């Protein structure tokens, strides 16, 4: 079984493997070529793919599918041939199948796993369609990976650290410019932009128009009137363009309707007639830099990818703008496939080629969902996983969902991709429905939804009620989306954007706490931290006995909180109970806007209870929720006085501390 990397290109595709010398190499197709045109010719009932299809395309008489990568994920697109409507996914699957079959023929063994590349700008639907196409072609798709990332891997950049790279990818149909930072073990995309209708083909078209104009001036007829002659010109124009990469000038002859013209095209004319196209790539490159406020001089290296970067005008631009030559050493047609192969091989044979380093990409689009603003006045796109996070990444949200006893209860979530807050400015991934939510007393159920970007940048969603996984199904989008989200909300499901919660644990560390009581209290404190969602809350630590000490200002870092808990020692603030923590709690929390709690743990009688009660009341007055937990020699009626509510005064035992604290964490988190 072989593992491969595949560059599924708009105009050309490549497949590569790791050879017996542990080198990534492109596998030739059955025609002996490394490049297989992404072209499909439908000739009656037979389907011809690749080189021959491209040759037949030149005749202009067949049903030819080409450039369908641009339609990946577009549910409205189909290509009709042989009485069948083909989706872009199905057409791509045919290309992949052809690559796979030819490669199996060459290698003499079956191909199992593959990494397929996609443009960095591809969103959920395009990525998912690429994976689906791979599956349809009989491949086990290990992951999809961004083309510029794959190129960077092929150039060996994984070995170098801390540099900023610009990948200029001009293929046959698309132009992408990506700026990335290579750090010790992460390849981080800083910005990616491009024009997906700008590629080598547009340069060919310029040559065609130029030639047609020359011909018309000479003979008074336009050779572009006729589709066969256009198809023929397409081939000649591309040929001429390639010639001009090597030479300063080339000759092209055109025969049409019995007339024959012969024209010379030199590099200056070529540069002239395509100047606007080149200018477009230049301004997009500039925009990519400007967007993230970088200057040309901030770029350490430039990588050229795509067949069209062979054109001398591209090299001239790069050298002028960046005052350096692009990196060399990898074939521009092959870099993407080779990089994908290295990643594929590495994931099945760890530590092979990447030396144990992880290639981590980042998400290029924020994941969001439609939510209602707190005042119920409008719908907004609320971000769940912001862009530029390393993949895989995960986030969870809690929904307070109204349920009834009778009807089946379901929760609908509309997932989005994009950077706009306004619901009609983003893409919709679909409607995710959690069915059969059980009824709960009081009519409100908390549904926890976990959202994940997997390694391919593909979204997975899971739902839980009371830690139990619930079935969730993806439905296609209702017709009134997004328009209904531009009106005033009427639905009942409201995302609870969890209010931020700050909690201080205030521990009595007088002499009586030494030994097991403190150990249990520490365990309980850690359990409490585990039970809090630190994405939406912070925990701090105060200790007191004769004096008060803030061990940790409220933090969202679990490690820091744990360390602070570990550090507590009995006696560090004296060994009696001459003071209370309430003034400190008041100072630390009074200016917090969101929810604020203090969990006060007491194990004995405090010397100045009245003063403590006054301090506690002052805290209540600014909405600090005091939970008083007592054990050992604590005074129950005193606890009731300092707690904000009756429920907030808890008397337990040393052994009961862990459970008490984790129950409190649960209660706080679920509110
Ligand atoms: N020597 C050359 N000089 C100029 N252009 C060339 C040369 N060789 C190839 N090209 C052009 O490169 C283009 C194909 O590039 P490539 O194979 O990288 O595209 P692709 O990967 O299919 O497209 P995309 O990356 O847009 O999906 C064609 O337009 C081809 O004419
Ligand atoms: Mg390409």
Query: From atom 25 of ligand 1, which residue's Cα is the shortest distance away?
Result: 171
Distance 333 CA to ligand 2 centre (A): 7
Q: How far apart are CA 9 and CA 67, in angstroms?
A: 9
561 contacts 541 by C-beta, under 8 angstroms: yes
Query: From atom 9 of ligand 1, which residue's Cα is the shortest distance away?
Result: 307
622 contacts 586 by C-beta, under 8 angstroms: yes
To 10 degrees, what angle do helices 227-246 and 200-219 make?
110
Distance 7 CA to ligand 2 centre (A): 7
Q: How far apart are CA 279 and CA 249, in angstroms?
A: 22
Name the CATH architecture for the domain at 1-155+334-356.
2-Layer Sandwich (3.30)
Domain 501-670 has CATH 3.40.50.410: yes
CA-based angle 497:499:504, to the nearest 5?
150
Cβ of 174 less than 6 Å from ligand 1? yes
Cβ of 333 less than 6 Å from ligand 1? yes
Q: How far apart are CA 138 and CA 100, in angstroms?
A: 9
Cβ of 334 less than 6 Å from ligand 1? no
Cβ of 73 less than 6 Å from ligand 1? no
Distance 138 CA to ligand 1 centre (A): 27
Distance 175 CA to ligand 2 centre (A): 9
pTM of the model: 0.71
Per run of 10 residues, the mean pLDDT along the chain (length 671 residues) is 94 95 93 97 92 89 91 93 94 98 97 94 92 97 94 77 91 92 80 88 96 95 89 92 97 92 96 97 95 94 95 96 90 94 80 56 86 81 84 86 80 91 92 89 84 90 90 91 88 58 94 90 94 89 95 93 94 88 95 90 89 95 95 89 92 91 87 65
CA-based angle 146:148:150, to the nearest 5?
70
Which bound ligand lies closest to the C-alpha atom of 121?
1
Cβ of 126 less than 6 Å from ligand 1? no
The residue whose CB lies within 8 Å of the most ligand 1 atoms, and thus the one to mutate among 175, 307, 310, is 307
Cβ of 274 less than 6 Å from ligand 1? no
Q: How far apart are CA 237 and CA 250, in angstroms?
A: 11
Distance 307 CA to ligand 1 centre (A): 3
Q: What is the pLDDT of residue 127?
A: 95
Beta 46-49 vs 111-118: how paired, if at all?
unpaired
Cβ of 172 less than 6 Å from ligand 1? yes
Cβ of 307 less than 6 Å from ligand 1? yes
Cβ of 69 less than 6 Å from ligand 1? yes
CATH of domain 388-495: 2.60.34.10
Distance 308 CA to ligand 2 centre (A): 10
Distance 277 CA to ligand 1 centre (A): 15
Place of tokens 């002859």: 253
Distance 305 CA to ligand 1 centre (A): 9
| CA 576 to chain CA mean position, Å | 55
Place of tokens 């200056």: 268
Rg (CA), the chain: 33
Q: How far apart are CA 592 and CA 499, in angstroms?
A: 12
Q: Looking at the domain covering 200-275, what would its CATH class be?
A: alpha beta
653's tokens: 């035992």
The ligand 1 atom nearest the CA atom of 175: 26
Domain ranges in the chain are 1-155+334-356, 200-275, 388-495, 501-670
Cβ of 450 less than 6 Å from ligand 1? no
Cβ of 238 less than 6 Å from ligand 1? yes
Cβ of 430 less than 6 Å from ligand 1? no
**Alpha helix positions (H), 220-304:** 227-246, 267-273, 275-291
354 contacts 23 by C-beta, under 8 angstroms: no
The residue whose CB lies within 8 Å of the most ligand 1 atoms, and thus the one to mutate among 118, 175, 200, is 200
The ligand 1 atom nearest the CA atom of 12: 22
The residue whose CB lies within 8 Å of the most ligand 1 atoms, and thus the one to mutate among 144, 308, 312, 340, is 308
Distance 536 CA to ligand 2 centre (A): 42
Q: What is the pLDDT of residue 377?
A: 82
The ligand 1 atom nearest the CA atom of 147: 25
Please give the sequence-ordered ranges of beta strands (E in DSSP) within 492-587, or none if there are none: 494-495, 501-508, 537-544, 548-555
| CA 618 to chain CA mean position, Å | 47
Query: From atom 1 of ligand 1, which residue's Cα is the shortest distance away?
Result: 242
Q: What is the pLDDT of residue 365?
A: 87
Distance 227 CA to ligand 2 centre (A): 28
Query: From atom 19 of ligand 1, which residue's Cα is the shortest distance away?
Result: 171
């Amino acid at each position: 079984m072989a593992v491969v990397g595949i560059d599924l290109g708009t105009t050309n595709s490549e497949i590569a493997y790791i050879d017996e010398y542990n080198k990534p190499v492109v596998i030739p197709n059955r025609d002996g070529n490394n490049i297989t045109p992404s072209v499909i010719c439908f000739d009656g009932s037979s389907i011809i793919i690749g080189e021959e299809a491209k040759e037949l395309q030149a005749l202009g008489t067949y049903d030819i599918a080409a450039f369908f990568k641009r339609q990946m994920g577009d549910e409205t697109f189909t290509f009709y041939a042989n009485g069948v409507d083909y989706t872009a996914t199905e057409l791509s699957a045919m290309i992949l199948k052809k690559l796979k079959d030819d490669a199996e023929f060459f290698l003499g063994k079956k191909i199992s796993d593959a990494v397929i590349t996609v443009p960095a700008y591809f969103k959920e639907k395009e990525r998912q369609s690429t994976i689906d196409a791979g599956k349809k072609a009989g491949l086990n798709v290990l992951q999809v990976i961004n083309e510029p990332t794959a190129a960077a891997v092929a150039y060996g950049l994984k070995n170098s650290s801390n540099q900023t790279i610009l990948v200029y990818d001009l293929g046959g149909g698309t132009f992408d410019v990506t700026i990335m930072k290579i750090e010790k073990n992460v390849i981080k995309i800083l910005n990616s932009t491009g024009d997906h209708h700008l590629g080598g083909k547009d340069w060919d078209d310029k040559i065609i128009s130029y030639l047609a104009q020359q011909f018309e001036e000479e003979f008074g007829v336009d050779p572009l009137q006729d589709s066969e002659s256009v198809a023929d010109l397409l081939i000649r124009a591309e040929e001429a363009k390639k010639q001009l990469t090597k030479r300063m000038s080339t000759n092209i002859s055109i025969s049409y309707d019995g007339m024959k013209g012969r024209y010379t095209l030199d590099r200056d004319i070529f540069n002239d007639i395509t100047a606007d196209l080149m200018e477009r790539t230049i301004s997009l490159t500039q925009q990519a830099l400007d967007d993230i406020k970088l200057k040309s001089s901030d770029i350490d290296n430039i990588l050229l990818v795509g067949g069209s970067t062979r054109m001398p005008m591209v090299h001239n631009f790069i050298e002028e703008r960046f005052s350096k030559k692009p990196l060399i050493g990898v074939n521009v047609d092959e870099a993407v496939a080779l990089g994908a192969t290295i990643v594929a091989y590495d994931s099945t044979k760890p530590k092979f080629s990447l030396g144990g380093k992880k290639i981590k990409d980042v998400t290029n689009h924020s994941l969001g969902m439609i939510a209602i603003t707190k005042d119920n006045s409008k719908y907004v796109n609320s971000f769940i996983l912001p862009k530029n996070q390393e993949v895989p990444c995960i986030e969870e949200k809690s929904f307070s969902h109204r349920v009834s006893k009778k009807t089946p209860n379901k929760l609908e979530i509309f997932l989005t991709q994009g950077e706009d807050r306004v619901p009609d400015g983003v893409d919709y991934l679909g409607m995710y429905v959690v069915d059969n939510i059980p009824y709960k007393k009081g009519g409100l159920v908390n549904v926890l939804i976990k959202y994940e970007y997997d390694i391919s940048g593909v979204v997975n969603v899971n739902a839980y009620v009371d830690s139990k996984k619930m079935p969730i199904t993806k439905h296609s989008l209702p017709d009134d989306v997004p328009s209904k989200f531009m009106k005033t909300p009427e639905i009942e499901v409201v995302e609870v954007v969890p209010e931020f919660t700050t909690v201080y644990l205030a521990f009595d560390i007088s002499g009586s706490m030494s030994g097991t009581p403190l150990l249990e209290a520490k365990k309980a404190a850690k359990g409490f931290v585990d039970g809090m969602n630190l994405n939406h809350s912070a925990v701090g630590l105060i200790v007191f006995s004769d004096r008060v000490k803030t061990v940790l200002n409220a933090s969202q870092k679990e490690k820091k909180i744990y360390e602070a808990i570990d550090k507590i020692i009995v006696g560090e603030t004296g060994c009696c109970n001459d003071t209370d923590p309430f003034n400190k709690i008041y100072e630390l929390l009074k200016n917090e806007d969101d929810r604020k709690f203090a969990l006060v743990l007491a194990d004995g009688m405090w010397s100045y209870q009245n003063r403590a009660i006054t301090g506690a009341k002052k805290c209540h007055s600014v909405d600090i929720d005091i939970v008083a937990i007592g054990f050992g020699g604590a005074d129950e009626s005193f606890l009731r006085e300092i707690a904000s509510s009756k429920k907030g005064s808890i008397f337990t035992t040393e052994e009961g501390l862990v459970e008490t604290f984790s129950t409190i964490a649960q209660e706080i988190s679920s509110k």
